[in-house]
Structure 1
Amino acid sequence: MATLKAWSLILNSSLSSSSSKQRGNNVKAAAINIPNRVASISLPGLRNGGFLENMELQNCTEKQLSPVRINRNESSGPDPVVMAKLYAILEAVSDRVEMHKNIGDQRNDWNSLLLTSINSITLAAATMTGIAAISGGAPAAALKLSSTFMYVAATGMLSIVNKIQPSQLAEEQRNAVRLFKQIENQIRTIISIGNPTVVDVKEMMDKVLALDKAYPLPLLGVMLDKFPANVEPAVWWPEQRRKQNKGNNGYNGWNGKLEEEMREIINVIRTKDKEDYLRLGKKALNLNKFLAITGPVLTGLAAVCSALVGSPSHGDWAVVLGVAGGALASVVNALEHGGQVGMVFEMYRSNAGFFKMMEESIEWNLREEDLERRENGEVFEMKVGLQLGRSLSELRNLAAEAAVKGEAIDEFASKLF
């Protein structure tokens, strides 16, 4: 239509500037030529829907739609691949919770059943030894042989049980269940807050693998040493890594007063709490070693003596040691496994590990010079107070007292255990 109007204007101007005769000739020429020109110029445009207009419309449309596509990607929520990985880790952690719980119950049953069985065998063998001493003939020989076999069996069973320490194994699994539940809750928190990143996936993976290594499920090959040469805190967390810059404009809840407070808390944890649990753990380990050796020695001695009952060369000593050895072995076994000395050692070791983890966490935040990479100071202070069973005012009072008294402070950092 625009082309037709333009040609009409040209035609009118040409007609007005000509003479009447020439005007008539031009009109005839125009009447003949205009349809061809219009047809050759305007009709393709009409058939194609306006090529230039289509190009301009397409360019405008692309310019208008391109920001919308970018905004849609930015506001579409977290990366689905990251979410899928987090949910996969969450499923694995939930499965590990159930596995450790079931195996912990099983190993706790081992401790109870083996304790009862070994003590029953040992006391029965001691009784047979005493009866054999006052009997004669074939019955005495049968009783002696039976008691010897039972003492040998008790010695072998005690050696195996004292090596694996079922009560300590059960405590390891209980700790693993609690710590895996912590990881499970952390993953759920990350998902609920929204926008998790690849860094979160890496951190959760490291925590799971470190915990797997700290509390293994199998016994053969990877079982933790139940009688280590030195008592060390349990370690179930990965190495601390630098966190992302959170963009808090230089302020992250930290100040000089809070840093000094955390340094004093570290000193109290290191010199009082962690040191005390390592000392108690060493005592429990030494007691467990003594009991673990004494039990099999007594049953082995009783087995030899029960075989010598009635021998003229040994007289009454064989009977006394055969009966008394079995009785003492039952007492030692009941004290070691009934009292769960191995579990007590593991509890002290894990408590020392808890304080070591707190110590490393505080030190890492204090060493990080970029305040925006630290954990928020106010939140971190509250976490430390909760972990130690103290309110914020009690935590600050402890730090003030530690600053005055130093290592001579009598109070422990933790009020929980």
Structure 2
Amino acid sequence: MLIKLFYFWFALLPFSWIIAHFSNFTALDKLLAPVLLLLGLIGLFRGNSERMKRVIFFLILLYLLLFFKHLSFTGLGAEYINLMWVDAVKFGYFAIPLLCIKNLNHFRRTSWLVVLIGIAGCISAFLVAMDLLTLPKERFEISRIGVESIQKSIGIFPSYGDLAQFMAYTVLWCIVLPGTHLTKSTKYKLLRWVVAISFVLGLIGLQSRNVLISVLFGLVLLWLLKYIHKKSPSKRTTAITLFSILGFFAAGLTLVFSSNLIQGLSSIGGGLAAQTADARLGQYAMGWDIISNSPLMGASSEFLKLSGFSFDHIHNMWIRLASHGGILTAMVLAALLIRIFILVRAMAYVDQKVPEVMVVTSYFGVMLLSTLFYPGMGELYWALLGTATALTCFAPYKPPGRKKQSYRHFDAQKKV
């Protein structure tokens, strides 16, 4: 019952706000979330102790992130409680997949839901751009592809960055097709064509640099991982370690020189794109100013009273987070992501999880890249990250008659 309710909740995520608008009632995912959290926690404490330890560790890091993010605002009373509550709800969308996805079959089915959501996101954006679909909330801008009748738009997703990650995951999953056989069959060829066409239509409607760059970057990472996995175990480990270090170093450089990168990309998409780039440069300057004045704690309660949540509109998740809660908060999130990455890579040593690990690792790189260009940390961001993280929290399938396998031996298993 729990997993079916979870599938229903997950499939609702990008559509729930539309249903809530037309029904004039609270979004269904918000109503189901507490039920899933409660049932998931009950199941967690009744299940495998190693899985429980891993999930609890992630939840502790999540609580630390929540605590440090709003530490500067503890004197605001009701406003502080509201800030904590809003983020606690969002972080719950990370916890729910961890609690509900208990085996590889659950993970694969959830990933297929990601595929359906990604396709729906692209198709809806195209239909809105072509004026064939009207949604309660629509975002239009002047066309960036030179066709005035096709405005830059977005569909059921709240942000381009969220859709960039879902679409990258969708493309990667449908290339690798984990858990399937006969990948050259007509059914899977048709599926790949559907994804490819949806992506192209989505680009026409979205006209988003983030979506395009994220998908292309994911494909490059997937090719690189496939190439590395053909090497011997020792060379593979060395290559993964080297590329991981280089990747995090490159992400750090990109963060520091994000203004220069935005200026370089501003020429793509016409004059309005350049104006958008200028606006983001202003956001970054404001964010760095806040960080330089209060590096450890971020914006003060006095700043919040004067300028509201202006820092929450910064189109860079890391600068936004450090502006809000200081470098301490950004370090907690970095620790969470690094821990996820290490455990995901450890799963590459588990035979039955190698294809999934390739998808999740590539998605992880896409996530780090796309969050450099949008605020991030919304419900859909956390739900997809929680789904990817869930891959590290359950044991692989064991053939009948074999002894129970501890999580501590994951890293010692044979590689493919």
TM-score by length of 2: 0.26
Q: Which has the larger radius of gyration?
A: 1
TM-score by length of 1: 0.26
Q: Which structure: greater helix fraction?
A: 1
